[in-house]
Amino acid sequence: MAEKAYTVGVVGVTGAVGKEIIEVLGDRGFPLEQIRLFASARSAGNSMETPLGTKTIEEFTLAAARECDIVFLAVSGDFSEEWSEKISADGGPLVIDNSSAFRYDPTVPLVVPEINAEAARKSAKRLIANPNCTTAIALMALAPLHEAFGIKRCIMSTYQAASGAGAPGMSELEEGVKAFAEGGKAENSVFAHPLPFNVIPHIDKFLDDKYTKEERKVTWETRKILDLPDLPVSCTCVRIPTLRAHAEAITIETEKPVDMELAISKLRSAPGVSFTDDTSKNVYPMPLTATSKYDVEVGRLRANDVFGDYGLDLFVCGDQLLRGAALNAVLIAEAVADDVL
């Protein structure tokens, strides 16, 4: 936890992730000297509740953002590309960016703080990228298993909530379910097809290799965070009609034979992990139980029949807006702010 008090700015406070960042700062007791809320001119002048009381939203400007010590960006990649480096330049604020703009830049650390906070401490830049939500949730389980057995290959299928498309995605699902229940038709503008009572194996755009960009994000970011540049990772990402919390079915092949007791011990003791695995009582990770929870649920742990002693299957579920976004961003600030500011 950071010890000094900081002036913190949050850019994009009217979106789902921006609102969660404000809530997490208060819930975790982050040491705030001042909090400043930034959004577009359309939202400027409106009021929001914060850990320091009611605050007025300001229109974002570079000068105002640079008056802060820490700036959380809960904005689009285009906005981040334009402003992140300008905000953090020349000893400016520590910028923690939730977009994909700088995740693959080799000069910018991509951080899950329980795994590789040191990458941020060593960085020459005051700019840190927050991982894709799917990757962050998966790595909470994969990192301790890699430490114990070494991961040789990883295959993943994800079941991603509407919250992955932000507040508009959640609203479209809720409105579509209501329309369907009243005998009407669910409309879609956020998703490629109506989401209620449907699953859509299409998140982000399709690439030339037939994977989606979302699927490739998992590969690229897993490699960077674990510092395994050649790790084979294959992922299929599916949007499902839940509001919050992504679920992931993961298979790994390991370098060393798996000791199941050690695997369980590693997961039980891993920070940010809730080992949720008692099939005799129907206890396992689910969006229903992972929603609004800081820890990632990990369960359904078992030997993989294909890889034998060198393989594991597991099921993971985590709140996309928390571990997959806002919580991870705040934990980065807690872990490194005192060291880099």
Q: Which residues are catalytic?
A: 133, 246
Q: How far apart are alpha carbons 218 and 273 in whole angstroms?
A: 19
Distance CA 119, CA 133 (A): 19
Radius of gyration of the chain measured on its C-alpha atoms:
20
Question: Which residues, 6+ apart, have CB-to-CB distance to 71 below 8 Å?
Answer: 8, 9, 10, 11, 65, 87, 88, 93, 94, 95, 96
One-letter amino acid for residue 82 of the chain: E
Structure tokens at 265: 């011990």
Give me the residue label for tokens 């923690």: 96
Angle between helices 16-27 and 327-340 (to 10 degrees): 60
Query: CA dist 288 to 132, 273, 328, Å?
Result: 21, 16, 20
Taking the C-alpha atoms of residue 219 and residue 146, their distance in angstroms, rounded to an integer, is 15
The helix-helix angle for 16-27 and 166-181 (nearest 10°) equals 110
In terms of Cβ atoms closer than 10 Å to its own Cβ (0-12, 13-18, 19+), residue 308 is exposed
Cα distance between residue 198 and residue 26, in whole Å: 36
The crossing angle, in degrees rounded to 10, of helices 113-122 and 133-149 is: 100
- For residue 132, give the DSSP letter: P
Phi/psi at 187 (5° precision): -95, 160
Asked whether 88 and 95 are in contact (CB, 8 A), the reply is yes
- Do the beta carbons of residue 167 and residue 15 sit within 8 Å? yes
At 304, is the secondary structure helix, strand, or coil? Answer: strand
